A and B are shown apart, each in its own frame.
Chain A
Amino acid sequence: MELNANVPEGHLEQKWDLHRFAMKLVNPANRRKYHIIVVGTGLAGSSAAASLAELGYRVTSLCYHESPRRAHSIAAQGGINAPKNYANDGDSVHRLFYDTIKGGDYRAREANVYRLAQVSGNIIDQCVAQGVPFAREYGGLLETRSFGGTQVSRTFYARGQTGQQLLLGAYQALSRQIGLGNVQFQGRKEMLDLIIVDGKARGIIVRDLVTGELEPIAGHAVVLATGGYGNVFYLSTNAKMSNTTAIWRAYKRGACFGNPCFTQIHPTCIPLSSEHHSKLTLMSESLRNDGRIWVPKLKGDKRDPSQIPEPERDYYLERLYPSFGNLVPRDVASRRAKEMCDQGLGVGPTRMAVYLDFRDVIARHGKAWVIEKYENLFDMYRQITGENAFETPMRIYPAVHYTMGGLWVDYNLMSTIPGLFVLGEANFSDHGANRLGASALMQGLADGYFIIPYTLGDYLASNKFEAVETTHPAFAHSRGELESAIARLMAVQGKRPVDHIHKELGHTLWNYCGMARNAGGLQKALELIPNLREEFWRDVRIPGSSKDFNQELEKAQRLADFLELGELIVRDALQREESCGGHFREEYQTEDHEPRRNDVNFSYVSAWEYQGDGNPPRLHKEPLTFEYAHFTPRSYK
């Protein structure tokens, strides 16, 4: 198999324009003849389904929630980037492109990132037209703020609920098409397999989560917008149901998996307080605009933070990175927080936390100003910890948040399986080894509103399709396989509940493939994970029946896939003998503990191809070349 990124010819600035002209179009009258299956209804999935239906394609949209609006995009807090330069601070498309490439530590594809920067302005226009209530100045114009990893103010936001407001916009657009009959929506359906006929993606099998029935859906192309796989760590900021199953099953049907080890650990989350914690909660990165991060200078200092005088506090990010200070990118802030805690400087009951302090900003601007900007975050913090962050500093610690890796896609967002397109966090494309804040919402909506409507049309117009109905033997074959796999799971009747095994997997990955990784630890994880997988299939306990609403079975199926993905993540981390972005290999660091990238040997995308159960996957490399953003050491000092 040959990886071809299909990057168009031409100067960086002209590639997308030239490509749009070169792509074939589907006659408006013929679009009704094509049926597109869109899996997932977050920002990428809803915007894609709505936009494709507006063009005239027949669309089936489905998700495992009851309503499209419950997708986890709803929880995104901070904002969405666009280089509108409203702040008059020197922003431009090229600067957003450059910041994203550099922020991703030179492990993303230039042409994709440039296109992302180009269309990002249209997203803001589109969302404002939908009525998304972004923050505004008193003069009535849109307000922006700065975000980690950049020095310009290009982030549009709606308090700490930007994802919610953007998703409601896309959900309305989708609802409009459902009401018009152009989109058929199916809720509480989970995709369990991809159907390939004559080498093309031609359908999926879903499980009805209420009745347990396996149902086939046939179409001309399949679009996966099913989000990230951070829950492989068990504890993450993802929603409880977020999972890898859709993309993992596509991987097992031949789609390459790109950069699986690139996971983002977000620096500002509420720390774990007990083993019962079921998930970690993010405190938006925007808080780093106004809060100051510090630890006591004295190890094991147990004094109340208000009793620690100024000279005895170490504002370590401001000290180490004077030009970016508290606004360094996420990977840097996370790693430094871990380092402080590892040195015994951590705070709070578990000593695994650092302070995020708002004392100075409250003194400077007043409490009302802080409330207007961050009220929901302070409320959430109080709910969870029982503490008032207006009176005492927040305690924060890094947590798994986002996965830059995902299914490999070309410039057209098509995977290595013809007719299988992958959007949003589910693909690997734009963020390299580290995603900058406020870039995920941008990418999801860019993919759905402004890229897939063009590239999918080109695919449909360029290929011939024989009629494939759900009666095709490929559907029955897959269904048979799924039925026996489910029966095998239900028959185990062992002793360990699903969550127990999931926690153990998460623990292994967090310890050996988390914020810092080394060859010895990764080798150890490569022994532990297959053993745990074996134990899962021998000793898991799933009560109830597979023929009705069974949440334990849903979790078990997702965990079965996480147990396989976990091993791939570790393999990927082991082969990448360099430090870049969220992937910090302890063997490759400078004297002052900054990551040491190896551009000579590792400037590539690792794309893994499944070779059957029990066989090691095959590694393909897509070389990354940088014509416009030249390699520089990534310094935020």
Chain B
Amino acid sequence: MHITLKIWRQKDGNSQGRFATYELADVTPDMSFLEMMDMLNTDLAKKGEDTIAFDSDCREGICGSCCIQIDGRPHGPLRGVAACQLYMRSFQDNATIVAEPFRAKAFPIIKDLVIDRTALDRIVQAGGFVSVKTGGAPEANSIPIPKPVSELAFESAACIGCGACRRLQECLRHAFCRRQSVALGQIASRPSRAQAAGSCDGGQDGC
């Protein structure tokens, strides 16, 4: 496949960014989007040019490191699929693809496609946890929890924390409240905001 990539390049948080265009001739449909980026970076490295910085780690859609906005959508064209699980068979031959970092005030740019999402951790540190210390927990089966409640908590807690959706703050709080309800054996029945609005963009199942 032949692919034209327009990629956001920005030296650091204080510099001006711009789109740079790259032509790739040897893309194959069974390559992931990030493997295509690897290929491009290898070519750039060979020429001694600065490679394109992007965050990725597990490449299984679960760590939530991916934060690339592809053709205007966080993680690209597929719903509920992180960028690392996006394969080039989802694009047409000779396509032009625009890749830039997630755009949000809360996520300042570090370099190229890498952003700072520590704001998400601060939400959790401020109270998104169940207050139990190590030790002292009662026998695990001493509090039966109805299966539907547990399933619902799982759906929320499956959020990969990538920051793709616009309502993440509410979602995170909600997910952790759910887990607290499960810990206490209470019923938590409200769907999260992003689930309700159908606007979860990334990750695995759930929001």
Contacts and interface: CB of A to CB of B under 8 A. Distances in A.
| Chains A and B are bound partners | yes
Interface of A: 47, 50-51, 54, 65-72, 74-75, 84, 86, 122, 124-142, 158-159, 161, 164-165, 168, 171-173, 175-176, 178-179, 185, 187, 210, 239-241, 273-274, 276-279, 281-282, 375-376, 379-380, 383-384, 386, 449-450, 453, 493, 495, 497-500, 541-544, 548-549, 551-552
Which of A84, A142, A240 gathers most chain B CB within 10 Å? A240
B176 A75 contact: no
B48 interface: yes
Given A158-B154, A281-B60, A376-B204, 18 more contacts: A47-B134, A67-B117, A71-B63, A126-B134, A128-B137, A129-B183, A130-B132, A131-B179, A133-B182, A159-B154, A173-B134, A240-B56, A276-B38, A376-B205, A379-B205, A383-B85, A542-B45, A549-B114
13 contacts: A51-B134, A65-B65, A72-B58, A126-B135, A131-B153, A165-B154, A175-B129, A210-B111, A241-B57, A276-B39, A383-B87, A497-B42, A549-B12
A172 B124 contact: yes
A72 to B, nearest CB: 6
B85 A380 contact: yes
Pairs of residues from A and B, 3 with the lowest C-beta to C-beta distance, nearest first: A140-B144, A131-B179, A172-B129
Given A126-B137, A137-B147, A187-B118, A175 B132 contact: no
B53 interface: yes
A126 B181 CA distance: 15
A498 to B, nearest CB: 7
Contacts of A176: 125, 129, 131
Interface in B35-60: 35, 38-39, 41-42, 44-46, 48-51, 53, 55-60
A68 B128 CA distance: 14
B35 A277 contact: yes
Interface stretch (B1-9, B24-32, B94-102, B190-198): B24-32
Contacts of A500: 42
A168 B157 contact: yes
B106 interface: no
B64 interface: yes
Contacts of B35: 276-278
Contacts of B23: none
Which of B30, B65, B127, B150 gathers most chain A CB within 10 Å? B150
A168 to B, nearest CB: 6
Given A69-B64, A386-B89, A543 B125 contact: no
Contact of B58 (A75, A127, A134, A138): A75
Nearest to A551: B53
Which of A68, A139, A241, A450 gathers most chain B CB within 10 Å? A241
A498 B150 CA distance: 46
B71 interface: no
A125 B11 CA distance: 48
Contacts of A128: 137, 140, 143, 183
Contacts of A70: 57, 63-65
A158 B114 CA distance: 31
B120 interface: yes
A281 B84 CA distance: 12
A93 to B, nearest CB: 15
B17 interface: no
Contacts of A172: 124, 128-130, 176, 179
A125 B161 contact: no
B179 A130 contact: yes
Contacts of B42: 497, 499-500
A449 B49 contact: no
B179 A67 contact: no
B57 A72 contact: yes
A619 B27 CA distance: 47
Contacts of A548: 11-12, 111
Contacts of A384: 32, 85, 87
A289 B181 CA distance: 32
B147 A136 contact: yes
A448 to B, nearest CB: 9
A66 to B, nearest CB: 6
Contact of A74 (B32, B63, B179): B63
Given A65-B65, A75-B60, A129 B137 contact: yes
B63 A278 contact: no
B53 A125 contact: no
Which of A68, A278, A495, A548 gathers most chain B CB within 10 Å? A278
Contacts of A185: 121
Given A239-B63, A273-B30, A54 B134 contact: yes
A66 B117 contact: yes
Contacts of A136: 145-147, 150
A376 B85 CA distance: 12
A45 to B, nearest CB: 14
Nearest to A548: B12
A175 B160 CA distance: 16
Nearest to A172: B129
A147 to B, nearest CB: 18
B74 interface: no
Contacts of A499: 38, 42
B61 interface: yes
B62 interface: yes
Contacts of B59: 239-240, 278-279, 281
B141 interface: yes
Contacts of B141: 84, 86, 141-142
A507 B114 CA distance: 31
Contacts of A542: 45
Given A66-B118, A274-B28, A543 B49 contact: yes
B170 interface: no
Contacts of A274: 28, 30-31
Contacts of A493: 48
B57 A380 contact: no
A383 B182 contact: no
Contacts of B118: 66-67, 187
A548 to B, nearest CB: 7
A74 B128 contact: no
Contacts of B55: 66
B44 A543 contact: yes
A82 to B, nearest CB: 8
A65 B205 CA distance: 23
Contacts of B85: 380, 383-384
B158 interface: yes
Contacts of B50: 543-544
Contact of B45 (A68, A277, A383, A541): A541
Interface string B59-95: 1111111000000000000000100010101000000
